[in-house]
């Protein structure tokens, strides 16, 4: 294709205390609001309280659906949709990490479209979903500005990627104050997920000039602020930069795709419940080593964006610097360092690799991997 498409008509409200906008924004779309959130963390951190106060101040009727598990299932979407339809909900406020935002998108879609959520892995959502105000409390997925959702079909044991303008949020509110209570390991894993989005979008075969701008800026912001956010969760500036960085990464990958790291991370989640960000973190530098011959120039630019000294280095040397910097950043996060540590069984590696190679994300990877090469990468991090 000789031309590119870049889409994002989401209204973005960001910065400290931007959460105070929630009532006004939700009220401009409807009167009966369903807040879709996880089971406990938004209550513990006080984020839910802030949202409820904001909504009530604007005299909106509010119902809380707090049944979202991590990796939300089709069953949860059915339950949420049933309640939303019965109560005549007209607007959804999505509050939480990627799982809560993804569940909210599924419920929004199924309130206005016929059939079951599982029908839409292959079919297009014809009707626009209920308006969504998306409020992330982690800095990783970029889901608040993307038209994609990942829902797990627990019966078939597959993760369905469902997408379309029907579920693109109307408003994203990015308030760093909502992320300061995020535990260190979640900060680290979600931050590494965002870094992976940016790097994969930048080296993807579908990268384009507009996604490149967002990807490089995201790499810069995330690599400089993730260690600070992990070290001191209350560092508001670092938290704010992480939120902006992961959003930029979201713009980049939702228009240029992710690649082999994500293809290999998904089966780790599906088979062994390895958290998505952690799976990406474990794989990122080793997959970049594999990709390096096909994208040396791009990795050189990654090194520059990360603030590494590359003056006078050859393209090859600069690309090696980038991989070392990515690995150092990963080590600095304090996340587990091997598949063994996170409970993956060695004898399952071939099956994991078969799933990974079947993923659509492999097609846009700069270097085409064989099954044996994917197995080799898994073994290197075992």
Binding interface with Fe ion (CB under 5 A): 193
CA distance linking residue 371 with residue 377, whole number of Å: 10
| Of residues 22 and 199, the one with the C-beta less far from Fe ion | 199
Q: CA geometry: angle at 97 spanning 21 and 127, to 5°? A: 75
Per-residue tokens: 65: 């659906």
* Minimum distance, C-beta of residue 265 to Fe ion, in the bound complex (Å): 7
| Of residues 175 and 193, the one with the C-beta less far from Fe ion | 193
Per-residue tokens: 98: 């990627």
| Of residues 140 and 164, the one with the C-beta less far from Fe ion | 140
| Of residues 102 and 193, the one with the C-beta less far from Fe ion | 193
How does DSSP assign 174-222, residue by residue? Answer: E-GGGGTT--HHHHHHHHHHHHHHHHHHHHSTT--HHHHHHHHHHHHHH
* Minimum distance, C-beta of residue 323 to Fe ion, in the bound complex (Å): 19
| Of residues 84 and 252, the one with the C-beta less far from Fe ion | 252
* Minimum distance, C-beta of residue 194 to Fe ion, in the bound complex (Å): 8
Cβ-based neighbours of 285, under 8 Å, separated by 6 or more: 323, 326, 327, 330
- Name the closest residue to Fe ion (Cβ): 193
| Of residues 60 and 182, the one with the C-beta less far from Fe ion | 182
CA distance linking residue 114 with residue 166, whole number of Å: 13
* Minimum distance, C-beta of residue 284 to Fe ion, in the bound complex (Å): 11
| Of residues 31 and 159, the one with the C-beta less far from Fe ion | 159
* Minimum distance, C-beta of residue 158 to Fe ion, in the bound complex (Å): 17
How many CB atoms sit inside 10 A of residue 234's CB? Answer: 10
| Of residues 52 and 189, the one with the C-beta less far from Fe ion | 189
CA distance linking residue 102 with residue 147, whole number of Å: 10
* Minimum distance, C-beta of residue 280 to Fe ion, in the bound complex (Å): 6
Strands 158-163 and 148-153: antiparallel
Any idea how long the chain is? Answer: 382
How does DSSP assign 308-352, residue by residue? Answer: ---TT--HHHHHHHHHHHHHHHHHHHT---STGGGT--GGGHHHH
Tell me the three state secondary structure of residue 158: strand
* Minimum distance, C-beta of residue 169 to Fe ion, in the bound complex (Å): 17
* Minimum distance, C-beta of residue 186 to Fe ion, in the bound complex (Å): 14
| Of residues 26 and 252, the one with the C-beta less far from Fe ion | 252
CA distance linking residue 207 with residue 259, whole number of Å: 11
Per-residue tokens: 256: 């240029």
CA distance linking residue 302 with residue 315, whole number of Å: 11
* Minimum distance, C-beta of residue 259 to Fe ion, in the bound complex (Å): 11
Cβ-based neighbours of 332, under 8 Å, separated by 6 or more: 227, 230
CA distance linking residue 140 with residue 261, whole number of Å: 15
């Amino acid at each position: 294709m000789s031309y590119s498409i870049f889409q994002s008509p989401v209204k973005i409200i960001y910065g400290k205390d931007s959460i105070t906008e929630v009532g006004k924004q939700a009220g401009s779309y409807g009167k009966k609001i369903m807040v879709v959130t996880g089971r406990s963390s938004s209550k513990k951190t006080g984020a839910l309280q802030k949202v409820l106060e904001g909504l009530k101040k604007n005299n909106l009727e509010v119902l809380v659906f707090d049944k979202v598990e991590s990796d939300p299932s089709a069953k949860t979407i059915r339950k949420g949709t049933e309640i939303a339809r019965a109560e005549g909900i007209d607007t959804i406020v999505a509050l939480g990490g990627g799982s809560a935002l993804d569940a909210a998108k599924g419920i929004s879609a199924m309130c206005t479209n016929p059939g079951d959520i599982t029908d839409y892995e292959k079919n297009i959502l014809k009707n626009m979903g209920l308006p969504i105000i998306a409020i992330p409390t982690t800095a990783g997925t970029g889901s608040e500005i993307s038209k994609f959702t990942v829902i797990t079909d627990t019966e078939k044991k597959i993760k369905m990627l469902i997408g379309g303008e029907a579920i693109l949020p109307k408003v994203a509110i990015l308030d760093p104050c909502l992320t300061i209570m995020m535990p260190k390991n979640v900060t680290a894993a979600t931050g590494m997920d965002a870094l992976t989005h940016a790097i994969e979008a930048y080296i993807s075969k579908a990268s384009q000039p507009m996604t490149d701008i967002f990807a490089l800026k995201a790499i810069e912001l995330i690599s400089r602020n993730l260690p600070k956010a992990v070290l001191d969760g209350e560092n508001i500036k670092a938290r704010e930069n992480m939120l902006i960085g992961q959003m930029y990464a979201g713009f980049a990958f939702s228009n240029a795709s992710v690649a082999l790291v994500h293809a290999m991370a998904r089966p780790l989640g599906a088979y062994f419940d390895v958290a998505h960000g952690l799976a990406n973190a474990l794989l990122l530098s080793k997959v970049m080593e594999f990709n390096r011959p096909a994208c040396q120039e791009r990795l050189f630019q990654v090194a520059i964006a990360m603030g590494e000294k590359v003056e006078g280095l050859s393209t090859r040397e600069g690309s090696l610097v980038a991989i070392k910097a990515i690995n150092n950043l990963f080590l600095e996060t304090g996340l587990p360092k091997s598949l063994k540590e996170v409970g993956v069984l060695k004898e399952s590696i071939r099956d994991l690799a078969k799933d990974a190679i079947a993923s659509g994300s492999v097609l846009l990877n700069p270097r085409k991997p064989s099954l044996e090469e994917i197995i080799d990468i898994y073994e290197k991090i075992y």
